[in-house]
Amino acid sequence: MANLTDTSTTVPTEAAPTGLRIDGFVVLVALIGLALLGTLIWLETAPFLVGLFFLGGLLGIALYHGAFGFTAGWRNLIVKKQGAGMRAQLILIGLASLLMIPVLGSGQPGMIGAIAPVGLSLVVGSFLFGLGMQLGGGCGSGTLFTVGAGNLRMTVTLIFFIIGSLLGTFHLPWWLDRPGTDPVNLISELGVSGALVLQGIALLLIYLWVRRVEFKSHAKVDSAELQIRPTEKGWLATLLTGRWPFFWAVLVLAFGNLLTLLLSGSPWSITFAFGLWGAKIAQALGMDMSVYEFWTWDFPAQALRDSVLVNVTSVMNFGLLLGAMLAAGLANNFNATGANPPLLKPFLAAVIGGLMMGYGARLGFGCNVGAFFSGIASASLHGWIWFASAFVGSIIGVKLRPKFGLPD
Amino acid sequence: MYRRHRVIFVLLGILLLILVDHLQSPTFAFNSGQGHAPTSLIQLDTGACAPCGAPCPSARD
C-alpha cells in the first residue's frame, strides 16, 4: 500500500512492529492531556467546544493511523507516478462535498462555508504553500499530526509555519488590494444540485486522469484507495494500532468535517490558529498588534482579545496534536525518527518550507484543509484555484527537495 | 529514543502557555463573575469574506 505521508514523518511503515505492542507511557500521557484540557474547556467554555476538541483528537488519530498526508500523495504522483494517495484525497473531497454542500445550501442561519476571494493573493499564496509543503515535509494537517507524533524536524517546520503565518497577517491587506474579485460560491451560482454535479464531474475527470498517469507508467493501477479490509492485522488491532486502509481515514475525515460544520458553524480549518498563536506571542513580547490592519478586523481582533480556548481552530488543533500522539503511542511509533542525527540541509528546508507555508496559507486563505478540502467541499471556486496553484508549486518544490538532501 | 521527562516538560509548557493566555482573557473574567466582560464564545463572523475574517475586495475599493 502506498504511503501518503512524507518520508520524514513518523507514521507506521512496513518496517514498524506489528501486533498490539503499544507505548504505554505515550498513550497514558496523551490520555491525561486529553482529559486535562478537555476538562478545562468544559469548565471554562461551552459543551460544543468540548465536542470540537475531541473531534480534533479523532481527526488526529485518523490522519496518523491512515497515514493521510496530502504532501506525499501529491509527490508520489509527480515523482513516482503513483496515484493512490491523490485519488484518496479526491474521494475524500467528493464525499465531503456530498455531505456538506446540501447542508450549506439549506441556508441555515449562523452557518457559512469556507468561501474566500479569488485573486492574486490566492494564486501567490497557494503557490507558495504548495512549494513550501514539499520542502517543509508536510502540509497544515501533516505538520500538526507529525508534531503530535513526536517528529522533531516537523516541530521546526511548525515553529516557522507560525512565524510565516504571522508575517502573512501583516501583508494580507496589501495583497487584498491587488487584482481580485469577491468569492464565487458555486451553490449561489448553480444551486445545490448544479454545484454537486459540476464538482462531481471535475473530481471524476481528475480521478481518471490520475489513474491514467499511473497506468501509463506502471502498466497497472494500485487501487489502494478503494481497499476497505485491513491487510496486516485483524479489524480491532488495526483500528487501535493502525495502519488504517485509506478508506477508513476518508470516512472519518469527511464525516468529521461535516460534524465540525454542524457544531461550529464553519468547516474544518487549521492555519488561522498558527497566525493567532504567533500574534499572541508577539503581543506578549510587547508588539502592538493593533497597528496591523488584519488584527483590527472583527474576527481576528476577537480571537486575539479572547482565550485560545474559545477559538475553534485552536481547540481543534490541540485535540489533533494529542490525538496524533495517542495514535503514535498505540502504534508504538512515537518519536520514531528521534534517533536520526539533525542535518543542516533538511533543517534549512524545514525553516524555509515552514515560512513559505505560513505566509502562503494566509495569502491563500488556508491550507490543504481550510482551502483545498473545506474550500472545495463548500463549493467555493477559490478551493479549485488553490488546488491548481498549489500543485504547480509542489512540482517545483519536489524538484528542489534533492538540493536540501530530502528523498523523493 | 525520546526522554520521558522532556515529553512531560514540553506538554506542561504548552499547558502553562494556554493557562496564562486564558487567565488574562475576557472569558475567564466573565466566568469569575465580571458579568460585563465582552466574551466571544462564538467567534463566527458571517459578514466576512473569508474564514480568516478578511473583508471582500469590493468593500475595499
Q: In A46-201, where do the E strands start and end?
A: 118-119, 180-181
Considering the domain boundaries, does residue A395 fall inside one?
Answer: yes
Residue A130, amino acid: G
Residue from the list B41, B47, B49 with its beta carbon closest to the beta carbon of A310: B41
Mean pLDDT of A392-403: 96
Which residues neighbour A357 within 8 Å (Cβ) at sequence distance 6 or greater? A128, A129, A132, A133, A136, A139, A140, A143, A157, A161, A164, A367
CA distance A130 to chain B (A): 19
Mean pLDDT taken over chain A = 93
The number of residues making up chain B comes to: 61
Chain B partners within 8 Å of A298 (Cβ): 45, 47-48, 53
User: Which residue is listed with cell 489533533?
Assistant: A320
- A272 in B contact zone (CB under 8 Å): yes
Q: Residue A179's pLDDT is what?
A: 95
Q: Quick one: cell of A246?
A: 485509506
Q: Is the alpha carbon torsion for A79, A84, A89, A90 positive or negative?
A: positive
- A97-134 pLDDT per residue, tens: 999 999 999 988 889 999 999 999 999 999 999 999 99
Taking a C-beta distance cutoff of 8 angstroms, is the pair A221, A211 a contact? Answer: yes
Domain that holds residue A57: 7-404
Residue A385, amino acid: I
- B10 in A contact zone (CB under 8 Å): no
Q: Cβ of A183 and B49 within 8 Å?
A: yes
Q: Cβ of B44 and A112 within 8 Å?
A: yes
pTM more than 0.90: yes
| pLDDT above 60 (res A16) | no
Q: A13: pLDDT confidence band, cut at 50, 70 and 90?
A: very low
| pLDDT above 80 (res A276) | yes
Considering the domain boundaries, does residue A2 fall inside one?
Answer: no
A254 CB-side CA count, 13 A: 22
Which residues neighbour A188 within 8 Å (Cβ) at sequence distance 6 or greater? none
* C-alpha–C-alpha distance, residues A222 and A83, integer Å: 8
Rounded to 10°, the helix A24-44/B4-23 angle is: 10
Q: Cβ of A300 and B52 within 8 Å?
A: yes
Q: Cβ of B41 and A36 within 8 Å?
A: no
| pLDDT above 80 (res A6) | no
Q: Which of B43, B46, B49 is best to mutate for the A interface (most A CBs within 10 A)?
A: B43
Considering the domain boundaries, does residue A278 fall inside one?
Answer: yes
Provide the Cα torsion B4, B9, B10, B14; round to 10°: 140
- A293-351 pLDDT per residue, tens: 999 999 999 999 999 999 999 999 999 999 999 999 999 999 888 777 778 999 999 99
> Complex ipTM, two decimals?
0.93
Q: Quick one: cell of A204?
A: 471524476
Q: In A68-132, where do the E strands start and end?
A: 118-119
Q: Cβ of B25 and A119 within 8 Å?
A: no
- A32-69 pLDDT per residue, tens: 999 999 999 999 999 999 999 999 999 999 999 999 88
Number of domains composing chain A: 1
CA distance B52 to chain A (A): 6
Closest-CA residue of chain B to A111: B46
Locate the domains of chain B by residue range. Answer: 4-59
- Greater confidence (A15 vs B10) lies with B10
- B58 in A contact zone (CB under 8 Å): yes
Which residues neighbour A79 within 8 Å (Cβ) at sequence distance 6 or greater? A398, A408
Chain A partners within 8 Å of B2 (Cβ): 150, 334-335, 338
Considering the domain boundaries, does residue A1 fall inside one?
Answer: no
Q: Residue A19's pLDDT is what?
A: 52
DSSP code, position A48: H
- A386 in B contact zone (CB under 8 Å): no
